[in-house]
Amino acid sequence: MENQTKNNSIQIDNFQRPVLSLRISITNRCNINCFYCHHDGVIAQKYEMDPSEIERISRVARNLGIKKIRLSGGEPLIREDIIDIVKKISALGFKDVSLTTNGTLLENYSEKLKETGLNRVNVSFDTLNPQTYRFITESNYLEQVKRGIKKAVSVGLYPVKVNMVLMRGLNHEEIWDMFQFCKENGAILQIIELLKTESCPDTDFFDDYHYDIGIIENQLMKKATNVKTRSFMQDRKKYFLEGGEIEVVRPMDNTEFCKNCTRLRITPDGKLKPCLLRNDNLVDLIEPIRRGDSDDELEKLFQKAITNREPYYHKC
Ligand code: SAM
């Protein structure tokens, strides 16, 4: 099928899924070392795109109907030019510009990020226990991250979501403490089921730590005053509880997840990545950009990547 459209009209892939968001991994570097990290499915990179290349790719994406940009990594806030990157993307007029961070540098950056047009942040933060935090991240930034979350809320980044990857025996009993922390500080708790991926260096971790999120959902169902399902967000469930809400991200390794996927990705070295779980169908943008190809040529490469999109877990 030809994915031909122009002038901001939404691209639909061969499985009738609209492509609405672009997740740009701007670095593979990180200042902590979470043992379970899937590195956004990206393998080691030789170089990173510069801010004007990221801007160019974002503009082409916008012209192909993409509405949302999320910056990720690695840790996006360790790039010294992060404010310039956010500023350039925000000026393009997307409906939503967001960032996923480990929160360690958020206290310093929140104000500037808000001023330059970032809408919201997700902060990966799995535990309030210093020992568990140290075990998961091999670092001692726990208090710094807590201050970062508070600062992000206080400058008006909204919503601030706390991403908690659930791990058996490590933090699965901490959900209500984490909910309380989020409630008190104006953040939303998002519980994520541990995912097994090839890019994780040690796959044994999955058998050791995986915890069935269904058990938590049963508890939430009993306590919730209301439950909403968010279509086009992989059918995520949002549970409304007294004084706050909890969102649940089900495992990605299922057909439902693939059916509702509306996302394209970019690797730090400028390759379009049609699926988190694959690295064999990337489409390079950076070489064409560096040799001076036109926006029309880049649009064609985007369309090639969209044509490459197929559900990792069949059948939709
Ligand atoms: N450094 C940033 C951060 O910490 O948010 C962005 C990169 S991190 C790879 C993006 C998200 O992926 C985080 O919310 C993290 O918790 C999640 N993640 C990483 N590995 C995972 C896994 N094996 N299962 C589930 N979620 C995972």
Burial of 149 (0-12, 13-18, 19+ CB in 10 A): buried
Whole-number Å distance, alpha carbon 107 to ligand 1 midpoint, is 20
Going by alpha carbons, the residue nearest to atom 20 of ligand 1 is 37
- Ligand 1 is surrounded, with C-beta below 6 A, by 30, 36-40, 72-73, 75, 100-102, 124, 163, 165, 192, 194-195, 200
Whole-number Å distance, alpha carbon 199 to ligand 1 midpoint, is 12
Any idea what the Cα angle at residue 120 is, between residues 177 and 95, rounded to 5°? Answer: 140
Global pTM reads 0.92
Set out the domains of the chain in order of their start, with CATH numbers: 14-308 (3.20.20.70)
Give the ligand 1 atom nearest the CA of 205: 23
Whole-number Å distance, alpha carbon 292 to ligand 1 midpoint, is 34
Q: Residue 265 has which token pair?
A: 């990705």
The pLDDT, as a whole number, for residue 204 is 76
Whole-number Å distance, alpha carbon 6 to ligand 1 midpoint, is 33
Burial of 71 (0-12, 13-18, 19+ CB in 10 A): buried
Select from 26, 163, 194, 276 the residue to mutate for testing ligand 1; criterion: most ligand atoms less than 8 Å from CB.
163
Select from 162, 165, 252, 277 the residue to mutate for testing ligand 1; criterion: most ligand atoms less than 8 Å from CB.
165
Whole-number Å distance, alpha carbon 223 to ligand 1 midpoint, is 27
Going by alpha carbons, the residue nearest to atom 23 of ligand 1 is 195
The pLDDT, as a whole number, for residue 1 is 36
Going by alpha carbons, the residue nearest to atom 7 of ligand 1 is 73
The pLDDT, as a whole number, for residue 119 is 98
* 236 residue type, one letter: R
Q: Where are the alpha helices (DSSP H) in 117-157?
A: 130-137, 142-154
Separation between Cα atoms, residue 152 and residue 197, nearest integer Å: 30
Residues contacting 2, CB < 8 A, separation 6+: none
249, β-bridge pairs: 192
Select from 124, 141, 205 the residue to mutate for testing ligand 1; criterion: most ligand atoms less than 8 Å from CB.
124
Whole-number Å distance, alpha carbon 37 to ligand 1 midpoint, is 6
The pLDDT, as a whole number, for residue 2 is 37
Whole-number Å distance, alpha carbon 165 to ligand 1 midpoint, is 8
Going by alpha carbons, the residue nearest to atom 15 of ligand 1 is 124
Whole-number Å distance, alpha carbon 297 to ligand 1 midpoint, is 33
pLDDT tens for the 316 residues of the chain, in order: 334 445 578 999 999 999 999 999 999 999 999 989 988 777 767 789 999 999 999 999 999 999 999 999 999 999 999 999 999 999 999 999 999 999 999 999 999 999 999 999 999 999 999 999 999 999 999 999 999 999 999 999 999 999 999 999 999 999 999 999 999 999 999 999 998 866 555 567 788 999 999 999 999 999 999 999 876 555 678 999 988 999 998 766 566 678 888 999 999 999 999 988 888 999 999 999 999 999 999 999 999 999 988 887 664 4
The pLDDT, as a whole number, for residue 233 is 58
The pLDDT, as a whole number, for residue 76 is 98
Burial of 272 (0-12, 13-18, 19+ CB in 10 A): buried
Q: Are 77 and 26 in contact (CB under 8 A)?
A: no
Going by alpha carbons, the residue nearest to atom 5 of ligand 1 is 101
